A and B are shown apart, each in its own frame.
Chain A
Amino acid sequence: MTRASIAIVGAAETTRMGKVPELSQTGLHADAALNALADCGLTLADIDGVATAGHDVAEIIQYLGITPTWYDGTSVGGCSFITLVRHAAAAIETGLCKTVLITHGESGRSNNRSHRPLFPSMQQQEFESIYGPLFPPSRFTLPVMRKMKDDGLTVEQIAMVAVVQREWAALHPRATAHDPLTVDDVLNSKMIAYPFRKLMCCLVSDGGGALILTSADRAKDFPTKPVYLRGMGGESAEGPMISQMESFSSSKAFRVSGKMAFESAGITHSDVDHLMIYDAFAHLPIYGLEDLGFVKPGEGGAFIAEGHTRPGGALPLNTNGGGLSYMHSGMYGMFALQESVRQMRGVSPAQIKDAKLSLVHGVGGMFSAAATAVLTSEDQW
C-alpha cells in the first residue's frame, strides 16, 4: 500500500474569464490566487512557495506580498503549470517549503500585459519565422499533412475533435462556446492554415487559475475535498523548432513525459477514469491519445471520431470543452488541471460518475515541451 504524499487543497479560476479588460495580467494572477486561497481557507501569510510561468515569478511574489523560501519560474509554454505541480511536489517532499501557490494569469485577449509569455527562440526566428509562419496556427500545424499521409488521419477526424469537445463544453456554464457543432460547421469555417480552419483552432481568452499544494498529511485540515498526486508525473522537451521534431506523426516529448507519469503512478491505461489533453489545436488530442499509449499509433483520429471520448464514452476526454471551447488564455495548461481537480472532487458540471483517477497531459510551445500529472481522489492505493 502506498500513501499519498502530496495533495492539491486549493484550486480556483479567475472570477471572470473570456473578456476581462478591467484586469492586467498581474491582476489576473492575483485574482486567481486570492480565489484559490479562499477555496481552502488559507491566507497569503500561509504561503511559503510560489511558482508561475509566462510571467516573472518575483513580480507575482511582490504583488501578493509573499516572502517565499522556494520559487520556480520554469516557463516552457502552456504545460508549465503541470510541470510546476511536479516541481512543487518535489520541493514539498524535500522540505524546501510547506505550502505552494501556483498561479496563472494571462491577458491573451485584452493584451493588458507587457510581454508575450513564451521566450522567443533564436533558431526558430532565424530558420523558420523568416518564411512567414508567425503565429501558432501556422506553426503548430506544420507536421499534420505528413501525419495524414503516413497514418491515414483525415481532416474529418480532426474536425470531430472540435465537435466532440463542444458537446462537453455545453455542460459547462463557464465555457465560452456552448452551441452544438457539426463536422460540416468545422469544415466550412474560415481557412486559417490549410488544412486547419478556425474551429480547429483554440479560443483567445483572458483568464487565469491557481492551485495550492501541501503535504498529504495536512490535507484533511482543509474544507475542500483533497485531490492527491499519484506518483510524480512526467516532463520532457524536444524544442521550439517544430520542423526539427524527430517524427511528424508523434511527439517524443509526449511519449517520454507520459511514460514517466504512468510508471511513477504505477497505473495502466485502464485505471484512467478521466483524461485531459491540452488542445491548442484539434490535432493535439489525437497525438496525445497515441503518444500516451491509450491507442496504437495512427488510431487516435478514428478513436475520437467513433465517439469513445464524448459524453457517455469509455474514455472521457477534455470534459470542460478544452482550449477549443472552454477558454484558451495562451498557456491553457492551468485550465486542464482545474478540470481534473473538479473531476476528482466530484464537482465538475460534466462530472464523470465514480471517477477516481484523472490524467492530465499538456503541451508547451508548439510541440516544444510536455508535462503529465496523475491526480486521484484516493489517499492510498
Chain B
Amino acid sequence: MGDRPLPTIYPETEFYWNGAKEGKLLLNSCPSCDKAYFPPRPFCPVCGNRDVEIKQASGKGRLYSYIINHLPAPGYEPPFTVAVVMLDEGVKMVANLLDCPPDPEALILDMPLEVTFEQRGDVAIPQFKPAGGVA
C-alpha cells in the first residue's frame, strides 16, 4: 500500500510546515486587506502587497464540501473522506476528516470542525476532526 504522500516543501511554504510541527496552523494574512489567504505565498493575491504577515489560525472551521473516495491512494484504505474545510478565517483548505466515519450520515455539511495533526515521518500534516469529539 505504501506510505501516504509527503508534501514537497518550497521556501515560500516552509513556515507553514514548521508551524504544523509545533501544532500550529499558520496562515499568511494581508494587513492592508485585513484578510487571511491560502495557500501560502509571500504576497497578497488580492492587492499584491509583499508586506504580509504570518498569523496562527483559530483551528476552527466547518465542513464546506467533501467526497468519499473509493479510488486507491498510497497509505490510505478506501473509502476515505476528502473534505474541503472553510476556516473561520474565511479560507478554504483540503483535509481528511479524522474521528469521523466516511459515511454521508456522519458527514453533515457545515458541521463544526477543529484542526488536528497527523504525523507522517518528520512532517506534521494539518487535518480536521469534528469539533468537541466524535460526530
Chain B associates with chain A: yes
Q: How many residues of B contact A (CB 8 A)?
A: 34
Query: A193–B72 Cα gap in the complex (Å)?
Result: 11
* Given A149-B109, A243-B94, A244-B92, residue A132 in contact with residue B10 (CB < 8 A): no
Query: A369–B70 Cα gap in the complex (Å)?
Result: 26
* Given A141-B67, A194-B68, residue A129 in contact with residue B5 (CB < 8 A): yes
Query: A362–B117 Cα gap in the complex (Å)?
Result: 38
Does chain A have a CB within 8 A of B65? Answer: yes
A129, A241, A244, A248 pick with most chain B CB within 10 angstroms: A244
Does chain B have a CB within 8 A of A137? Answer: yes
Q: Is the CB of B94 within 8 A of A131?
A: yes
* Given A122-B10, A145-B109, residue A131 in contact with residue B82 (CB < 8 A): yes
Query: A125–B94 Cα gap in the complex (Å)?
Result: 11
Q: Mark B1-27, 1 if CB is under 8 A from A, else 0.
A: 000111111100100000000000000
Name the interface size band of chain A.
Answer: 20 to 34
Q: Is the CB of B104 within 8 A of A194?
A: yes
Q: Is the CB of B92 within 8 A of A132?
A: no
Does chain B have a CB within 8 A of A59? Answer: no
Contact of A127 among B6, B82, B94 (CB under 8 A): B94
Which A residues touch B39, using CB under 8 A?
Answer: 123, 126-127, 241, 244
Does chain B have a CB within 8 A of A314? Answer: no
Does chain A have a CB within 8 A of B135? Answer: no
Which B residues touch A193, using CB under 8 A?
Answer: 67-71
CB-nearest residue of chain B relative to A144? B65
* Given A123-B39, A126-B7, A133-B82, residue A146 in contact with residue B65 (CB < 8 A): yes
Contact of A134 among B73, B110, B125 (CB under 8 A): B73
Q: Is the CB of A131 within 8 A of B95?
A: yes
Q: Is the CB of A142 within 8 A of B65?
A: yes
Within the complex, the shortest CB–CB distance from A300 to chain B, in Å, comes to 18
Q: Is the CB of A138 within 8 A of B8?
A: no
Q: Is the CB of A137 within 8 A of B71?
A: yes
Which B residues touch A326, using CB under 8 A?
Answer: none
Which A residues touch B5, using CB under 8 A?
Answer: 129-130, 132
Q: Mark A292-318, 1 if CB is under 8 A from B, else 0.
A: 000000000000000000000000000
Q: Is the CB of B109 within 8 A of A128?
A: no
Does chain B have a CB within 8 A of A196? Answer: yes
* Given A133-B82, A149-B109, A191-B70, residue A128 in contact with residue B65 (CB < 8 A): no
Within the complex, the shortest CB–CB distance from A146 to chain B, in Å, comes to 4
19 A-B pairs, CB-CB below 8 angstroms? A126-B7, A127-B38, A127-B94, A128-B94, A130-B7, A132-B73, A132-B76, A132-B80, A133-B94, A138-B67, A138-B69, A146-B109, A191-B70, A191-B79, A192-B70, A193-B67, A195-B67, A244-B92, A248-B64
Q: Which residues of B contact A (CB under 8 A)?
A: 4-10, 13, 38-39, 64-73, 76, 79-80, 82, 84, 92-96, 104, 109-110, 125
Given contacts A141-B67, A192-B71, A194-B67, 18 further A-B contacts (CB under 8 A): A127-B93, A128-B94, A131-B94, A131-B95, A132-B73, A132-B76, A134-B72, A138-B82, A142-B82, A142-B94, A143-B84, A145-B67, A149-B110, A191-B68, A193-B68, A194-B70, A196-B67, A244-B39
Q: Which residues of A contact B (CB under 8 A)?
A: 122-123, 125-135, 137-138, 141-146, 149, 190-196, 241, 243-244, 248
